[in-house]
Amino acid sequence: MAGIKELAQRYRFIDVDKVGIWGHSGGGFATASAMFRFPDFFKVGISESGNHDNRNYEDDWGERYQGLLVRSDGSDNYAEEANQTHAKDLKGKLFLAHGGMDDNVPPYNTELVVDALVKAGKSFDLLILPNARHGYGVDANYMMGRRWDYFVKNLIGAEPPKDYQIGKPNVVP
């Protein structure tokens, strides 16, 4: 946030009232976390395949950044970092996406956030790519288009071309 604010002072075309963020995997976690923890700054976020709760991901990842899991008094030292814990604070537009066959970050990591958002009565968008693994494979271009469309609609308020397909020329008869 500090970097964006500093750049906005240098470059007038940067609008700090319309800040979007997106990320995939660990970046998907970071995107949702930013949307929940700094809801007045980040207006639009696209969180793809996020490892939203490291208690439900590979031990070596959580331990590398959060230390060993330590349980005490009905909680643990990972709870504060879990995105579903903060989902109730969402204010902006959030688009969650996950590959249904993800064998790196299991889809239930995103489902934890979905459940918390539903219970908090928050509006959000969700896309499950049924046969996609972690990197989305043949669905990657589709996801890229959806990502662009989401920012166009929700940051600048414009309507993107309907069903535009990346990599296919627009042929006019």
- Closest residue by Cα to residue 44 from 36, 35, 53, 52: 35
Q: Is 33 a catalytic residue?
A: no
- Active-site residue (options: 25, 33, 47, 49): 25
Q: What is the pLDDT of residue 173?
A: 57
pLDDT score recorded for residue 81: 86
Q: Which two tokens stand for residue 102?
A: 């993800």
Q: End-to-end CA distance of the chain, in Å? A: 47
Domains of the chain, residue spans: 18-156
Q: Do residues 136 and 99 touch, judged by C-beta distance below 8 A?
A: yes
- Among 24, 86, 102, 139, the one annotated catalytic: 102
Q: Is 25 a catalytic residue?
A: yes
Query: Active-site residue 123, yes or no?
Result: no
Topology adopted by domain 18-156: Rossmann fold (3.40.50)
Cβ–Cβ under 8 Å, residues 99 and 129: yes
Digits of tens for pLDDT over the chain (173 positions)? 999 999 999 999 999 999 999 999 999 999 999 999 999 999 999 999 999 997 777 666 767 677 677 788 888 766 778 999 999 999 999 999 999 999 999 999 999 999 999 999 999 999 999 999 999 999 999 999 999 999 999 999 999 988 887 766 555 55
pTM, full prediction: 0.89
